[in-house]
A and B are shown apart, each in its own frame.
Chain A
């Protein structure tokens, strides 16, 4: 069999692969959004900007300091996470008692500032970032050609996503985290430092975005605008999946990436809008989202 519905199997597999790559970014970012939302009740609009920052820091590290891809994969998320902690300490914590919308507005303003600063420094055109030497080339699977880097992106994202899931669902720290999400006052009464956990949660969410940014750097051009479009799609992903479950966010992210890839093959004009159309349909059929619970 070389074709399915008149589509060559290689093109199909290629798009599927690309869809999974995009899907792993959606999954990582929507997971970060969900973790932050669970703890802070804030939708982090700056998430896209933090992702862009991750990619840019990786590029700058290589360009100015000669820090390669592998050290960047550790150092950049730490830096972005630290930046997130600073944001939480200096700004976000003043808003917890207010309507949740203020958190969205504040982080929107921050996203504009971060994006604007990078545009001012580097313009809107992309900067190329080389795929690390260990991951250049690909693997011939017989029915398709698998570039190593794409495989690595999917693998690394899934590893981080499931690590997060394990950390939150199966460890003691995760249990504290879930308790603090459920009832912060009671958790604090049991002697757990909830404000510290809130701070670390935002830092961790930011670090996840930074990590996704480093992964994305060799796959797409590093540009100040790379985050803002992605974050809007991720919002749609979050609405579709609901933020109730971690596994739900991961599955929805991957699934929508694949759907987008397939649409690109069948009807390219709709590939930019298909996620939003799905969101509209989900809102009509199941307003709380696929994995969500209506509060």
Chain B
């Protein structure tokens, strides 16, 4: 068995056993943000597009799923599907606009469009404004399993995460994923080889947005609410940080990064209060200045050096 396969099995076992040792809601939060970061990494790490507005898709997934479940009485699985579809649709609209520009402009366009979404959620009649959409029931999965128990919900969330992770893994290692990497490495060359680059970028964007929406929708189920924080630009920045800290363009990097950041926030929230932002910002600066490969990237580079020596 390959070393990678062992790593996957070990991680899955860890995921299955985690709720017996750690507070399940915290692990679920980590899983939701890990999926969010993995979706984001598909765009930044594998296509080379820095979206600074991914919170818009996370927030849309969260709000639409929450409203479908609470307002329309949808069962949870359908609510999550609707939320994901809404985010993918929004991703298609924003993606078609944003890919008209590249590099730094792409980042600014996505950020500005996301801010527009934030204001829509602030003002729209169904979102509860500043209070957010509260009291979303967890419901029963497929009419069989009650999700109000944390442990039941945990395994559902884990399944959602594994599904999303496998989908991204499959995408990266497919011919489609290879073309995305070719675009990242050298866009003019990909064009000269006859690939319709815009189409590939857009598809990657929609996929990433949809999965970010899936993460947001699942998060609504866990916490039973969707708030403006989900769609705020701080969240867009956080997902960038998670991905870079873990290692962009690596399969596990976003998972590691989101685990570190979410646990850090959880640990520090009571102790240092508003200084959390300062700490996150400092990590950002240190990452960019000193170790741009991220945790996973640095470890694998170290490992390769040791093998070589």
Residues of chain A touching chain B, judged by Cβ–Cβ distance below 8 Å, are 37, 43, 91, 94-95, 98, 100-102, 104-106, 108-117, 119-120, 228-229, 232-233, 235-236, 238-239, 269, 272-273, 275-277, 279-280, 283-284, 287
Contact A100 B104 (CB under 8 A): yes
User: 4 tightest CB-CB pairs across the interface, nearest first?
Assistant: A109-B284, A112-B281, A116-B277, A116-B278
Contact B280 A104 (CB under 8 A): no
Complex Cα gap A177–B62 (Å)? 48
Complex Cα gap A110–B115 (Å)? 20
Contact A119 B274 (CB under 8 A): yes
Contact A235 B288 (CB under 8 A): no
A235 touches which one: B112, B273, B282 (CB < 8 A)? B112
Complex Cα gap A111–B277 (Å)? 10
CB-defined contacts of B160 to chain A, threshold 8 Å: none
Q: Given A43-B104, A232-B115: A108 and B274 within 8 A (CB)?
A: no
Contact A104 B107 (CB under 8 A): yes
> Which of B116-124, B186-194, B200-208 faces chain A?
B116-124
B25 within 8 A of A: no
- Besides A114-B281, A283-B97, 18 more A-B contacts (Cβ < 8 Å) are A43-B104, A100-B104, A105-B240, A105-B288, A106-B288, A109-B241, A109-B281, A112-B237, A113-B277, A116-B275, A116-B281, A119-B274, A119-B277, A120-B273, A232-B115, A233-B112, A276-B116, A284-B100
Contact A102 B292 (CB under 8 A): yes
Contact B285 A276 (CB under 8 A): no
Contact B274 A239 (CB under 8 A): no
Q: Which B residues between 83 and 129 are near A, CB-CB below 8 angstroms?
A: 97-98, 100-101, 103-105, 107-109, 111-113, 115-116, 119-120, 122-123
Contact B289 A94 (CB under 8 A): yes
B233 within 8 A of A: yes
Residues of B contacting A: mostly: helix
B244 within 8 A of A: yes
A237 to chain B, nearest CB (A): 9
Contact A287 B100 (CB under 8 A): yes
CB-defined contacts of A113 to chain B, threshold 8 Å: 277-278, 281-282, 285
Q: Given A111-B281, A119-B277, A120-B274: A273 and B116 within 8 A (CB)?
A: yes
Contact B285 A106 (CB under 8 A): yes
Residue contacts A-B, CB under 8 angstroms, 21 given: A43-B107, A95-B289, A102-B292, A104-B107, A105-B284, A105-B288, A106-B285, A109-B241, A109-B282, A109-B287, A110-B281, A112-B284, A113-B277, A116-B278, A116-B280, A277-B116, A279-B109, A279-B112, A280-B97, A283-B97, A283-B109
B50 within 8 A of A: yes
Complex Cα gap A98–B103 (Å)? 13
Using CB atoms, name the residue of chain A closest to B98.
Answer: A283
CB-defined contacts of B233 to chain A, threshold 8 Å: 228, 232
Contact B274 A273 (CB under 8 A): no
Q: Given A117-B278, A228-B233, A232-B115: A287 and B108 within 8 A (CB)?
A: no
A108 to chain B, nearest CB (A): 6
A112 touches which one: B103, B115, B277, B288 (CB < 8 A)? B277
Q: Given A43-B104, A113-B285: A232 and B111 within 8 A (CB)?
A: yes
Complex Cα gap A109–B234 (Å)? 11
Residues of chain B touching chain A, judged by Cβ–Cβ distance below 8 Å, are 50, 52, 97-98, 100-101, 103-105, 107-109, 111-113, 115-116, 119-120, 122-123, 233, 237, 240-241, 244, 273-278, 280-285, 287-289, 292
Complex Cα gap A140–B267 (Å)? 58
A280 touches which one: B113, B278, B281 (CB < 8 A)? B113
B294 to chain A, nearest CB (A): 12
A118 to chain B, nearest CB (A): 10
Complex Cα gap A236–B115 (Å)? 10
Contact B112 A239 (CB under 8 A): yes
Contact A105 B278 (CB under 8 A): no
Which of B100, B240, B288 lies at the interface centre, i.e. has the most chain A CB atoms within 10 A of its CB?
B288
CB-defined contacts of A100 to chain B, threshold 8 Å: 103-104
A120 touches which one: B107, B240, B244, B275 (CB < 8 A)? B275
A288 to chain B, nearest CB (A): 8
CB-defined contacts of A283 to chain B, threshold 8 Å: 97-98, 100-101, 109
B225 to chain A, nearest CB (A): 21
Contact A239 B273 (CB under 8 A): no
Using CB atoms, name the residue of chain A closest to B105.
Answer: A239
Contact B288 A236 (CB under 8 A): no
Contact A109 B108 (CB under 8 A): no
Complex Cα gap A279–B119 (Å)? 15
Using CB atoms, name the residue of chain A closest to B290.
Answer: A94
Complex Cα gap A280–B110 (Å)? 10
Q: Given A110-B285, A116-B274: A273 and B119 within 8 A (CB)?
A: yes
A91 touches which one: B97, B237, B287, B289 (CB < 8 A)? B289
CB-defined contacts of A91 to chain B, threshold 8 Å: 285, 289
Using CB atoms, name the residue of chain A closest to B281.
Answer: A112
A101 touches which one: B104, B109, B120 (CB < 8 A)? B104
CB-defined contacts of B100 to chain A, threshold 8 Å: 283-284, 287
Complex Cα gap A83–B130 (Å)? 35
Q: Given A100-B103, A105-B244, A105-B288: A43 and B281 within 8 A (CB)?
A: no
CB-defined contacts of A101 to chain B, threshold 8 Å: 50, 103-104, 107
Complex Cα gap A232–B287 (Å)? 23
Contact B277 A115 (CB under 8 A): yes
Complex Cα gap A30–B84 (Å)? 36
CB-defined contacts of B292 to chain A, threshold 8 Å: 98, 102
